[in-house]
Amino acid sequence: MLLGSWKAFRLSIHSTVITVFLMTTLLTSGVSIGLYYYFSQSFATESALSVYEHTASSTLDFVENVDDKAEEIAFMLSKFPKLVEADGIDADTRAVFAEILQRNPLISFITVGFNDGGFYQLVNLDANVKIRQQFNATAKDKWVVITIRTNGDRYLHFEYLDAEFAQRHKMEYPTNYDVRTRAWFGEAEVGKVLKSQPYLFQHLQVPGQVYAISLGNSQHVLAIGIALPSLSDFLKRQPLQGSEAYIYQQNGEIIA
């Protein structure tokens, strides 16, 4: 009788030890998995926040650099003594504009609005793929010169040029476009660069902003144009890992 009780007691202890061991193992495993999940989530969150903070900081630097560069270029060009000749923009001024656009690919175009309502615009087709598509340009096209002359009937001229400024083809259409109706033209000041609100560029048909300055007593206005899709391209290159980023103004309007 005592022997049987002893065996039952030993079996009970054995079962208890195994049960306690299994429960301890499960509890330890559960705690380990929980801690691993917690720290993994915490690390992932911290890593994501670090990426977002870096992206926000680099985007701010990028936008401020774009503003500073565009303002500097517009101001310096306004001091160019022979920027506008009696008959408009000559080949030397066009070469200066082209050099600036080459060195600053975020700038889409440089415009001179004349005090009679006409204007001259040199567009860099390589600034953004949407611009090239809008003009139906080929791979050999590098520049588009857009002009409006006010002598007699008003016509809008498009001249497509290659990298060496050789004309590839041209078009013209009657128009009632008057650059003096643009807000940036009327608000431009001498010696001070004005940054416009975002608007749809008339001939490029993409949203953008211009940096405008009045050219002294001539009342002509110089404008540096930056297409907002170029800012979007910058955001798309950021390592956001499936997330999205936006640049918006204080009024909530998204610009990129």
pLDDT, tens only, 164-182: 988 899 998 888 888 899 9
pLDDT single digits (tens) 32-85: 565 556 555 665 556 656 656 665 666 666 667 778 888 999 999 988 878 887
Q: pLDDT at position 106, please?
A: 86
Q: pLDDT at position 96, please?
A: 92
Q: Is 117 left (phi over 0), alpha (psi -120 to 50) or beta?
A: left
Q: pLDDT at position 241, please?
A: 65
Residues in the chain, overall count: 256
DSSP structure class, residue 152: S
Q: pLDDT at position 128, please?
A: 83
Q: What is the mean pLDDT of residues 130-139?
A: 88
For the chain, what percent of residues have pLDDT higher than 90?
26
Q: What is the mean pLDDT of residues 211-226?
A: 90
DSSP per-residue letters across 29-65: HHHHHHHHHHHHHHHHHHHHHHHHHHHHHHHHHHHHH
CA distance 64 to 45: 28
The confidence band for 198, taking pLDDT boundaries of 50, 70 and 90, is confident
In the numeric block, the tokens 């615009």 are attached to 121
Q: What is the mean pLDDT of residues 196-211?
A: 84
Q: What is the mean pLDDT of residues 95-111?
A: 92
Domains of the chain: 1-256 (3.30.450.20)
Task: Determine phi and psi for 5, rounding to 5 degrees.
Answer: -65, -40
Tokens linked to 118: 């006409």
The whole-chain average pLDDT of the chain stands at 79
Q: pLDDT at position 127, please?
A: 85
In sequence order, what are the residues at sequence separation of 6 or more whose Cβ sits closer than 8 angstroms to the Cβ of residue 138?
168
Q: pLDDT at position 12, please?
A: 63
Helix segments in the chain, DSSP class H: 2-78, 91-103, 129-134, 183-187, 228-236
The confidence band for 6, taking pLDDT boundaries of 50, 70 and 90, is very low
- Quote the strand ranges of 101-236, DSSP E: 109-113, 119-124, 143-149, 155-161, 167-174, 194-195, 199-200, 207-214, 221-227
Cβ(201)–Cβ(179) under 8 Å? no
- Work out the angle between the directed axes of helices 2-78 and 91-103 (0-180°, nearest 10): 170
